[in-house]
Amino acid sequence: MKNWKAIVSVVVILAVIITVLFMNKKKMSANASGGIKDVYYVTVDKVSKKDLSETLSLVGTINANNDVNVISETAGKVTAVFVKVGDYKEAGSVLFQVDDELKKAAFMSAEANYEKAKKDYERFQSLYKEKSVSDSQLEQAKLGAALAESQYIVAKRQLNDTQIKTPISGYVAARYVDVGSMVQGAPQATMVANVVDISKLKVKLNLPESDAFLTKIGDEVAVNTDVYPGVKFRGRVESVSSKGDEAHTYPVEITVLNESAHPLKAGMFATVKFTSLKDRQTIAVPRESLVGSVKAPQIFVVENGIAKLRNIVLGNQFGIYVQVLQGLNEGETIVVNGQNNLVDNLKVEILNK
C-alpha cells in the first residue's frame, strides 16, 4: 500500500516538473521573440543641431585646363614631323607638314589671277572716269576681281592647312602619325595629336546637395595629393552645376595653379577640403544610434514611452556623428543604446531620464 502511494507521489511530482519545464520553455521561447517582455530598457538622447567644425573632404580627379585633339584639315601624306610626346608647344606651332606641292601650285595660280584682276579693275576705274568704258564693263571687272580674290583666299587657306598646327599652348600628350602616314580632312578628319594645357588644372568632383547649396563660386579650398605628402595647394571653386545626377550630387570644378616646384599632371587623384563649410550647424546623431542598412538607414524615436522605427536620410559623417538631412526634428528623443532588441511600436523604459 505504501509502495503504491509512493509511486503515485513520484508520478505527480514528475508531472508537475514536466509541466513547469514546458511552461518555462514556452516563456523562454516567447521572451526570445519579444512576445511577453513588456518593457525594454534603453538610453536616449535629444535631437539637436550641432556645430560641425570638421572640414568636408572629397576625392576628385585632376583634369587639364584645356585638352585638345589636333586633327588634320587637309588630305595627303605627312612629309615632316616636328614634335614628339612630352614636348611643349606654343599656340600656332607647326606639328606636322603634309605634302603641299599641288596646294602651292594652286595658290601661286590663284595669287597671279588675283593680282591681274585687281589691276584690271583699277584700270577700268580710270577708264570709267574718262567715260571710255560702260557701267556694265566696270561691273564685270569688279566682279572678276572679287571672284579672283575669293579663289585666292581659298587657295591660301588650303596651302596653310598643309601645316598642321596646335591651337593651344601645352604639352603633347600623344602623337598618332609619323612621316609617310596618310591623313584625311573633313568630314572624316584624321586625329594626329593630343595637346594638353596644364598651366592651370581642374579638379572635378561631386558634392552632396546639402553641401552644394552652401558652396559658392570663388570659395577657397585646400587640395592635397598622395604624390606630394604634406604639400597643400590652394584651389578655388570655379563652378557648381545647376543640375544634379541620379544620386543627388552636383558636379563641381576646382581650379588649381600648377606650380613648377611641385608639378601636377592630368589624371591624378586629389583630396579637396572645403574649409568654407566649417562651423555650420546641422542636425546630427551618433552613428551608434542607427539601425538598418547603409542604403536604408533607420532610427528609433521614443514617443510617449513607445519606440517607433523611422526612416531617415543621411548626409556626411563628422567623427562619431552623422548628418541627418531628412526624417528628424530638433527636440525629438532617439534611442542611442538598446535599439538592437527593439521592434517597431514597442514599449520602452528610459534609463537616463
> What does the pLDDT look like over 147-169, one tens digit per residue?
999 999 999 999 999 999 999 99
**How many angstroms separate the CA atoms of 289 and 286, rounded?**
6
Of 223, 257, 279, the one marking the end of a domain is: 279
| Number of compact structural domains in the chain | 3
**How many angstroms separate the CA atoms of 330 and 325, rounded?**
12
Q: H/E element holding 92?
A: none
Of 159, 193, 227, the one marking the end of a domain is: 193
**How many angstroms separate the CA atoms of 8 and 15, rounded?**
11
In a domain, 168, yes or no: yes
In a domain, 291, yes or no: yes
Q: Do 74 and 177 sit in the same domain of this protein?
A: yes
Residue 44 C-alpha cell reads as 536616449
Q: What residues contact 267, with CB distance under 8 A and at least 6 apart?
A: 61, 62, 63
| Phi, psi for residue 119 in degrees, rounded to 5 | -65, -40
In a domain, 18, yes or no: no
Residue 107 C-alpha cell reads as 595658290
| pLDDT 10s digits, 268-289 | 999 998 876 555 678 888 888 8
How many other β-carbons are positioned within 10 Å of the β-carbon of residue 178?
A: 9
The pLDDT tens digits along the chain (353 residues) read 445 555 655 554 555 445 534 544 554 455 544 444 567 888 888 888 877 655 678 889 999 999 999 999 999 999 999 999 999 999 999 999 999 999 999 999 999 999 999 999 999 999 988 888 888 998 999 999 999 999 999 999 999 999 999 999 999 999 999 999 999 998 999 999 999 999 999 999 988 887 888 788 998 999 999 999 989 999 999 999 999 888 788 999 999 999 889 999 999 999 998 876 555 678 888 888 888 877 788 999 999 889 899 998 887 777 788 888 888 988 899 998 888 888 888 888 888 76
In a domain, 3, yes or no: no
**How many angstroms separate the CA atoms of 295 and 297, rounded?**
6
Residue 239 C-alpha cell reads as 563652378
- Angstrom CA distances, 138 to 113, 120, 144, stand at 18, 10, 10
C-beta of residue 302 within 8 angstroms of C-beta of residue 44: yes
Q: Do 101 and 136 sit in the same domain of this protein?
A: yes
DSSP for 106-151 reads HHHHHHHHHHHHHHHHHHHHHHHHTT-S-HHHHHHHHHHHHHHHHH
Q: How many CA atoms lie within 13 A of 172 on its CB side?
A: 23
In a domain, 2, yes or no: no
Of 279, 294, 314, the one marking the end of a domain is: 279
- Angstrom CA distances, 69 to 40, 64, 83, 191, 348, stand at 68, 13, 15, 7, 67
- Could you tell me which residues are beta bridge partners of residue 97? 80, 163
The single residue listed with the C-alpha cell 591681274 is: 116
Q: Do 273 and 289 sit in the same domain of this protein?
A: no
Q: Do 233 and 297 sit in the same domain of this protein?
A: no
Q: Do 132 and 143 sit in the same domain of this protein?
A: yes
Q: Do 261 and 289 sit in the same domain of this protein?
A: no
DSSP label of 46: E
**How many angstroms separate the CA atoms of 208 and 282, rounded?**
14
CATH number of the domain enclosing 232? 2.40.30.170
pTM of the model: 0.61
**How many angstroms separate the CA atoms of 195 and 165, rounded?**
11
Which residue range(s) make up the domain with 99?
69-193
In a domain, 22, yes or no: no
Helical residues (DSSP H) of 201-291, grouped into ranges? 209-212
Q: Do 302 and 270 sit in the same domain of this protein?
A: no
How many other β-carbons are positioned within 10 Å of the β-carbon of residue 52?
A: 21
Q: Do 183 and 95 sit in the same domain of this protein?
A: yes
| pLDDT 10s digits, 14-57 | 554 455 345 445 544 555 444 445 678 888 888 888 776 556 78
User: With the CA atoms of 26, 32, 34 and 36 taken in that order, what torsion angle do they form, in degrees rounded to the nearest 10?
Assistant: 30
Residue 62 C-alpha cell reads as 585632376
In a domain, 21, yes or no: no
Q: Do 222 and 188 sit in the same domain of this protein?
A: no
CATH number of the domain enclosing 156? 2.40.50.100
CATH number of the domain enclosing 304? 2.40.420.20
Q: Do 83 and 175 sit in the same domain of this protein?
A: yes
Q: Is the peptide bond prior to 229 cis by the omega test (within 30 degrees of 0)?
A: no
Q: Which residue type does 23 have?
A: M
Q: Do 169 and 229 sit in the same domain of this protein?
A: no
In a domain, 329, yes or no: yes
Q: Do 73 and 178 sit in the same domain of this protein?
A: yes
